[in-house]
Amino acid sequence: MALLELKNIKKLFGKVHALSGVNLEVKQPEVLALLGDNGAGKSTLAKIISGVYAPSSGEIYFDGKLMTKWDVSTARSKGIETVYQDRALTEQQSIASNIFMGRELSGSMAMGFINLKKQYEEADNLMKEIGLTSKAFNAKSQVLTLSGGELQGVAIARALYFKARILILDEPTTSLSLSESEKVYNFIDNVKKEGLSCILICHNIYQAYDAADRFVVLERGRDVLNVEKKDLSVQELIDSMRKIARSARIGDDSASI
């Protein structure tokens, strides 16, 4: 059974149809790659899954149950963690503060008070665990002192701390160096080995092919292809994506006539 299932999801921004009826299943465990051109609706779909956007219509099932309320807090409480394309960091705040952002650790008094000391300790431990260490910074350092790869590390550390069941990675390697990208893909492998699911949004088909088990291609807000890795080679995947892009262009021409 699918862990997460989206049925006929539509999303309108004003008069623009960002998504016009997407169906998507996420199994456990698997790495699902969301492919498609710019503007195909990949990031919109990711933000609907993570609860940032509410769908205009459609149904979301989690563990087989229809979810009537779906927002960021609900999604995060179900174990859906997202590493956003913009990384969703607050750069003047500390690394620890970013890792626990929106879900700060309560102090002994509770009532909304925060256990800062525990947050720093936990953040330091976590950073050691994933190899995000340097003499230049610690958990108390402001995020604006970090490099691109380190920023991505903080965003991933955050997703990791809260034991995600589904991890959404939106363009995780954009603006990263080769060795840094390598680290991210190793991380995705580990996620799968731990029996978790991962939705990978990616532009580079070769990288996506290496990392993922299944591919869903979006085109103009629809899911137009859903294939398993065992069913096709990387060349076949590229060919079918070309075909989709070409038919879309022809559709364009006929529309303009």
| Residues near another protein (CB under 8 A) | 47, 50-52, 71-73, 76, 82, 84, 86-94, 97, 101-104, 107, 112-114, 116, 140-142, 144-145
Shortest Cβ distance from residue 126 to another protein (Å)?
17
Rounded to an integer, what distance in angstroms lies between the CA atom of residue 81 and that of residue 188?
A: 13
Shortest Cβ distance from residue 203 to another protein (Å)?
21
Rounded to an integer, what distance in angstroms lies between the CA atom of residue 149 and that of residue 177?
A: 8
Shortest Cβ distance from residue 120 to another protein (Å)?
10
Give 57's DSSP letter.
E
Nearest residue (CB) to another protein, 114 versus 130:
114
Rounded to an integer, what distance in angstroms lies between the CA atom of residue 193 and that of residue 213?
A: 13
Nearest residue (CB) to another protein, 88 versus 248:
88
Shortest Cβ distance from residue 54 to another protein (Å)?
12
- Alpha carbon of residue 27 to chain centroid: 15
- Residue 211: CB partners within 8 Å, gap ≥ 6? 31, 33, 185, 188, 189, 200, 202
Whether the Cβ atoms of residue 94 and residue 101 lie closer than 8 Å to each other = no
Shortest Cβ distance from residue 44 to another protein (Å)?
13
Nearest residue (CB) to another protein, 156 versus 241:
156
